[in-house]
Structure 1
Amino acid sequence: MTLNKEILSGWVELSGFPKFTTTLLPFVLGAVLAWSEGFEFDGAVFAVSLLAVFLLTEFCFVLNACSVYADLKERGVKFDREEGGQVRGEGEEEETSSFHSTAASGRFDALVKGRISVQQASRGAYLCVLAGFPLGVVLHFWFKTGPLTLPLGILGVLIPYSYSRGPRLSYHGLGELGLTAGVGWLTVFSGYYLQSHEVSWLPTVVALPWLVDVFKLKLTRELPDFECDLAINRRTLAIRLGKARTARLYFPLTVCSWLAFLPLLFLDGVPRVGLVLLAAPVFFTAKSLVALRKLDWRSNGVGERKGKGEREGEREREGEKEREGEKEREGEREREEVERGLRAVTRGAFTGMTLIPAVLIGIFALKIVL
């Protein structure tokens, strides 16, 4: 019984349930959008499909965490058992960020302390897919939700699987696009389609600000995971572009996300008073933008990690251990300051992004009521 409790607690920790809002809320948005267009509310379909989305989200998060952890172990990266599975490389003070809520740099504590193994967690992830398959069959054949029901479900499995296994999109600079397509578009479109049984451009138009923000947040969250991704040769867009260039994309992507709300003004029946709710995500996004601009991207604390041989060469050229130690301590302080800043940025960005579908749900719910 104790062993089962340990495995269950490890599974819950790997799942990262608060982040399920990134799939469940946009799915609900799609459904509410369909109801606001006059399609009948189907409670049974909504409940079954929401459960299916939950299971696929479990599959996505757990499988990705297992894949990254296994790659880190394979490359001999050490983990600090006392600090939540923080990654440490041999001879290094710190090989990755301590921002543990991201997929690449965190949620490893359960694996490090042996509460659940990679094999057990991976099997559980695949069991979630098996449990979701009959739900898709029921939706397609029993509730007759439309010919795209099963293809959409299969796509919902292939995207997260391809993200960290198989083609390993996240290792080749394509993970950002895959995640944007899955979380940013597929969730909203599926929620709409399963209630309306029709293909429409409307869910795509409404999802545009959410879609852009998903891509932006993915890039932003790769910044604190920069060293971790380097350690496993995960060639994310942030790795390819560098930290400074990635950070500079935040502002234009934010502007694009805000501009993507404009089509709401031209949709029939959208209550103008409801648009006031958009101030909530805009506030938190602006807050994260201010925090990002305060970071000094010229300091060593945010620069790309140097190779071990290069660092040793610099130490030889400096020739003074005392000066070298002081320089390292100064660099460590800079890194800690930047990591604190990045936590503030990602907190604000994540909150702002999550509020987008929540606020849109409120706007289209008002359309139904009014």
Structure 2
Amino acid sequence: MSERFTFTLLKSDGMARRGEITMPRGTIRTPAFMPVGTAGTVKAMYPGQVRELGADIILGNTYHLMLRPGAERVAKLGGLHTFANWPHPILTDSGGFQVMSLSQLRKMDERGVTFQSHIDGRRYELTPERSVEIQGLLDSDIQMQLDECVALPASESEIERAMQLSLRWAERSKAAFGDQPGKAIFGIVQGGDNERLRAQSATALREMDFKGYSIGGLAVGEPQDVMLRILAMTTPILPTEKPRYLMGVGTPDDILESVARGVDMFDCVMPTRAGRHGLAFTRFGKVNIKNARHAEDHRPLDEASDCPASRDYSRAYLHHLFKANETLGAMLLTWNNLAYYQSLMAGIRAAIDEARFEAFRISTKEGWARGDIAAL
């Protein structure tokens, strides 16, 4: 493990990249999928399980943790790694997206955003400096600048206003972060679905010399082809020698296609949220375990999987658990889904190492399309 934050690009296959981020708390193999631990927990999973599945890093949420239990309290209790029993790297987002999407009566200006908590109505102020302070109190390893993310579709003038504000907040966030050799703060590229604004944002952030770069404001209402078009023109502008993180994305197909366009890091609530609602991700495609056709199906989700949740429980039993509203059903499908996502990432990394990523991408998608007809 390194005492500094470093990114090493080990192999390229087309635009797909294989690399490693090293830092004091561990090494992150990229392309990486970061399970989302919004409030200090990856829902329905033990930390040890998450690690055993292959996760090198998890994500925590500044907005939720500042509201409950409070960043100062987490710091007093030893920081988020100790608090959540996760001694490995943690990335925290800035809280900006949740302020825009969850909070009540928010008011934004140049200084920052004031808002009412969706939990108890208390008023808070979140500025670039306060966001960095909170992330420091949580003691996360990779932090995000505060930005403004607008939902799409939106007018060009609204997208440009938010992008320019995010650039000014990027400068303030980076200044507040200062020099922390073993940690990193990432800038966030904004600009909606407008290529000119995306290029302007990426170029300005590159000149600020962040340790890594996030691509935000995608998967917020636009079709996948728009997201992929924006990625294809944005990633070449960003420095080759620094990691690229696509925020809040996504489906297994989104991940495959984004890796093909040069993305290194991903996070999404999809595998855990889907698991809690009865949807399983497998190499055969998606399985809705609530469907009546599974009621007497003795087969597991995937008998060849290394994950006990995928291999050792029948579809009939899983179907029963959801029909009976038993907590174990959500736990097992979440376990299955995260196992599938980490298996997918391991397959992607191996394929890039062996210069066969395009063949892997095609064969994986063909497997979903072909599917397990009796299961889907």
Q: Which has the higher strand share?
A: 2
Tell which structure's C-alpha radius of gyration is larger.
1
> Which of the pair has the greater relative contact order for Cα pairs under 8 Å at 6+ separation?
1
TM-score for both structures, normalised by structure 1? 0.31
